[in-house]
Structure 1
């Protein structure tokens, strides 16, 4: 069946697509067989290397859970701080006051341009030279600092783009009924923009969870990925098994975040569907910043 965007395939095109499909299936099977053979040749698929994860809880209680706990702690602290900070910076970039807009723009563009790993290293040195933070807590502080500074800047751009994506009629209608700009931003624009921004915000939260691994690679922060190295050495160099288990845990965490975001986005969209009712003059008295007579409060 043909459509505006797609033409029906002819006999030659169908045969060609079948050949391409068969070729790629064979190529994929060959690659998978090569991977399997290589791992089996290196004895990475031996049951002895995978046994610690399927018999007993020692690997989980000694290595995986402490590392996962540190990962979730650093990610949660970074999210709690970065989300409101990013919202404030994003709104500040839209301010009419130049003394608010320019500093916010400088902060966002500066920290957004620096790699998060560099920010973590600078944070570690900062806490080492100018604070009394203990050496045990310093990696956590440095990781959270780097994640907050970088991701708050990225979230600020997401917030700004989400608000600018709304139709201008939204803010104009709010001003027409007597709302001040901060009222329109708080009561009209932000609630609508949240639904639009939610997928991008959750994507950035997933980045925060994954970037905690940078602290383990450079700052000896005992997070989940760093625990895999120690665990692999203890169980006889079962590198593939250890990192496979850790990868599955990261997939579960990030998939849970995205699934929750999808559910929340759908709930918000359903909750914001208009009933199509028309308000009378007397009913507008309950609108903040507006009086029933049609004049600004």
Structure 2
């Protein structure tokens, strides 16, 4: 039985017909809203071809390329903070020692519960009053990295807990210490399981860098605001920025899907090899 069937009853003919009807109605309503918005913009002259001409100029294209590079730099900086910190927090929360487990749990739950924007405001207004005033880049990157680390910690922990208990028992049975078992047996397998989820989390990190406008960091969103103030081409500018974000996130999503399929194929190949060589399935 699939997970979907375990959670939901299989829809009957009448239910499937109702779903199709509601889907068609929803699509028609959405198309009507988009068409109305397009018509209003057309009537106002906001979509005039002349308003798109500035985006064909090399200076504007270079401006967007620089903004995209700064967005990538901010996302990379947040990832450099989030991944190692998330791993440490996951190990702390999995630790049987309460001295490590409770602080890690408190950190994870705290930064998972509060919005990224609130942490950015703390770096903007609260910390400078205590003499801590980093640059605009770090005022964006550190809050995004801290909040993302809390999520990544749970991704790592879920990957470890998803492994069969027999993996740990097998490592202990051959004389490995608990630490060696985790480092050599459990964690490498958990890492392969969570890599697609980590790549997918990069989509959220890229979107969170849009908060750069709050601290005046010139990423895509802030650069678009500046360009709109100078050219008055609001619709065109934000449509271009939207397309850029969509393309970036689609590429990241495709990488996540590709990695998931690659790892699934590799695991299937190893399972088949073990079955052919031992006459049994993989040891759980």
> Alignment partner for residue 222 of structure 1, among 209, 213, 218?
218
**Equivalent in the alignment of 1:282:** none
User: Distance in 2 between the 1:259 and 1:177 partners?
Assistant: 40
Runs of 4+ deviating beyond 4 Å: 6-10, 16-26
CA contact (8 A) 1:195 1:265 kept: no
**Equivalent in the alignment of 1:84:** 84
**Equivalent in the alignment of 2:169:** 172
> Alignment partner for residue 41 of structure 1, among 40, 43, 48?
43
User: Distance in 2 between the 1:57 and 1:177 partners?
Assistant: 64
Q: 1:220, CA displacement in angstroms?
A: 1.1
The change in CA–CA distance for 1:37 and 1:249 in structure 2 (over 3 A counts) is: same
User: Distance in 2 between the 1:25 and 1:132 partners?
Assistant: 49
The change in CA–CA distance for 1:263 and 1:27 in structure 2 (over 3 A counts) is: closer
The change in CA–CA distance for 1:34 and 1:100 in structure 2 (over 3 A counts) is: same
Larger Rg: 1
Q: Does the alignment pair 1:74 with 2:69?
A: no
Higher helix content, 1 or 2: 2
User: Distance in 2 between the 1:259 and 1:205 partners?
Assistant: 12
**Equivalent in the alignment of 2:282:** none
**Equivalent in the alignment of 2:57:** 56
**Equivalent in the alignment of 2:181:** 184
User: Distance in 2 between the 1:107 and 1:28 partners?
Assistant: 41
**Equivalent in the alignment of 1:260:** 255
> Per-residue displacement from partner, 1:176-203 (whole Å, max 9, x unpaired)?
1222222222222222222332343233
Q: 1:150, CA displacement in angstroms?
A: 0.8
User: Distance in 2 between the 1:21 and 1:264 partners?
Assistant: 31
The change in CA–CA distance for 1:207 and 1:22 in structure 2 (over 3 A counts) is: closer
Normalising by the residue count of structure 1, what TM-score does the alignment of the two structures yield?
Answer: 0.80
Aligned length: 265
**Equivalent in the alignment of 2:32:** 30
CA contact (8 A) 2:168 2:185 kept: yes
Structure 2 residues not aligned, in runs of 5+: 1-8, 280-284
User: Distance in 1 between the 2:27 and 2:101 partners?
Assistant: 55
Q: Does the alignment pair 1:231 with 2:215?
A: no
Normalising by the residue count of structure 2, what TM-score does the alignment of the two structures yield?
Answer: 0.83
Q: 1:128, CA displacement in angstroms?
A: 7.0
User: Distance in 2 between the 1:185 and 1:157 partners?
Assistant: 17
> Per-residue displacement from partner, 1:82-120 (whole Å, max 9, x unpaired)?
111101110111112222212211222222222211212
Structure 1 residues not aligned, in runs of 5+: 280-297
Q: 1:29, CA displacement in angstroms?
A: 4.1
> Per-residue displacement from partner, 1:4-28 (whole Å, max 9, x unpaired)?
9454569xx96x8887676556544
